[in-house]
Homo-oligomer: A and B are copies of this chain.
């Protein structure tokens, strides 16, 4: 059984510097139905996917003012289980590789995930949204209004 953190044929890892250039603060936590990476869908569906929850920690609750008026939100999160040292990857495990910056794999030097979600409801510091595909418990980094036009 291959684990997602193992290296595959033709993938290339580098001796990466210890990350120490800037520090992140987790502003909250994402609640989803998926407990293992194998269960996670390949790409969240912002219209038909399950409702997930963004929980915002204090002291950041006041920063949500006005978020309830947004239809679509860009969500940034930290893929805390991803390895960070691969420069070439084989997403389908086909033996063919691509550079890490040419694909949207969670494995990258700074494993920041970005999803566009649709807002279902706000209850205080908790937002119900559709469109996520990450693990339950994923640390939240940021929310921004989405500028990209809606795909119908």
Contacts from A to B (Cβ < 8 Å)? 12, 14-27, 56, 59-67, 69-70, 74, 76, 78, 80, 84, 86-88, 97-104, 108-110, 112, 114, 116, 139, 141-145, 147-149, 151
Contact = CB atoms under 8 A, between A and B. Distances in A.
A53 to B, nearest CB: 15
Contacts of A18: 23, 25
A91 to B, nearest CB: 12
Copies assembled: 2
A24 B15 CA distance: 16
Given A21-B139, A99-B67, A62 B145 contact: no
A139 B78 CA distance: 18
Contacts of A20: 23, 25
Given A98-B66, A145-B104, A149-B149, A16 B22 contact: no
